[in-house]
Amino acid sequence: MSEKIQKVLARAGFGSRRQIEQWIEGGRIRINRQTATLGDRINEGDAVEVDGKPVSAQRLYSANRRVLMYHKDVGTVCTRADPEGRHTVFNDFPKLRGSRWILVGRLDITTTGLLLVTTDGELANRLMHPSYELDREYLVRVLGKVDQAMLERLLQGVELEDGTAQFDSIVDMGGEGANHWYKVVIKEGRNREVRRLWESQGIQVSRLSRVRFGPILLPKSLRRGRCQDLDDQQITALCERVGLSHASAAKTTKNRRPKNPWSESANRKNGRYKHKRVRG
């Protein structure tokens, strides 16, 4: 069964579909030695090249999909490399071979909390697309006097410079003066949208942290600057929300590197080591 080239390459982790469409327009992709055009489809067995380098069939058609949750800290930026030398989220992700990490949206430099990252560009594209309306939940500390009329406007919708925006829900979490907290839910990810909504009412956001993305909650045990893999059940829940199927881990083990029978752990298990390891 044939599929569009940008969909296959996105799923293989080369980038989002939009990025790959730009690569096609720039002549960077070839199919069976012919420069690809938008709308081209491929089948298993077709030869695909990106920037003159062949792409293996295993990478194109492997069912192994990986998703991480990451706890972003203040001062960390969501770019692969920063010209100012600031710490980037990619510094904290595990290294990959034959694939790359793709961010599911971004958080600005002063925002903390949950960030999702995946090797599957198609999944990333759907999770970010506004048509799927995945809710994002934030904890917000505000400065300024908030009244009921203001909250109603934020729920009904206010006009920002890039269109109408609104919160799906607002819950008062308590506090006084400069330490008043709210929990808000929004169903899109425009740039600094949560902050801009509050600022439209003359309210300043002093702290902002994302605690949930769709069905995925940020665990309290996950420290800032750390990440962990989603389990198969969590990935399945994400995929179902955006209309994708997810092969179980058991089905993808054949694509993983076989365990080294002479590794230290295997040798211990098989009794090859008789002495305890001493750290110097």
What pLDDT is stored for residue 279 in this prediction?
41
Is 275 exposed, middle or buried (CB count within 10 Å of its CB: 0-12, 13-18, 19+)?
Answer: exposed
How do residues 100-156 score in pLDDT, each as one tens digit? Answer: 899 999 999 999 999 999 988 888 989 999 899 899 999 999 998 899 999 999 999
Cα 241 from chain centre: 15
Topology of 67-217 in CATH?
Pseudouridine synthase (3.30.2350)
The pair of three-digit structure tokens given for residue 151, joined into one six-digit string: 């909250």
**Which residue in 73, 108, 168, 232 is the catalytic one?**
108
- The tens digit of pLDDT for each residue in 58-97 reads 777 765 788 999 999 999 999 988 999 999 999 999 998 7
Burial pattern 248-267, b for ≥16 Cβ within 10 A else e, equals eeeebeeeeeeeeeeeeeee
Sorted by where each begins, the domain ranges of the chain are 3-61, 67-217
Beta strands 180-186 and 136-143 are: antiparallel
Which is more confidently placed, 272 or 147?
Answer: 147
Please tell me the pTM assigned to this model. 0.71
pLDDT of residue 278 exceeding 50, the answer is no
Domain 3-61 in this protein, CATH class: alpha beta
d(CA 5, CA 24): 9
The model's pLDDT over 10-39, given as tens digits with 9 standing for 90+, comes to: 877 787 788 899 999 999 999 999 999 998
For the residues of 190-246, what is the DSSP string, one character each?
Answer: -TTHHHHHHHTTT-EEEEEEEEEETTEE--TTS-TT-EEEPPHHHHHHHHHHTT---
Q: What is the pLDDT of residue 63?
A: 54
Query: Contact 106/130 with Cβ under 8 angstroms?
Result: no
Is 46 annotated as catalytic? Answer: no
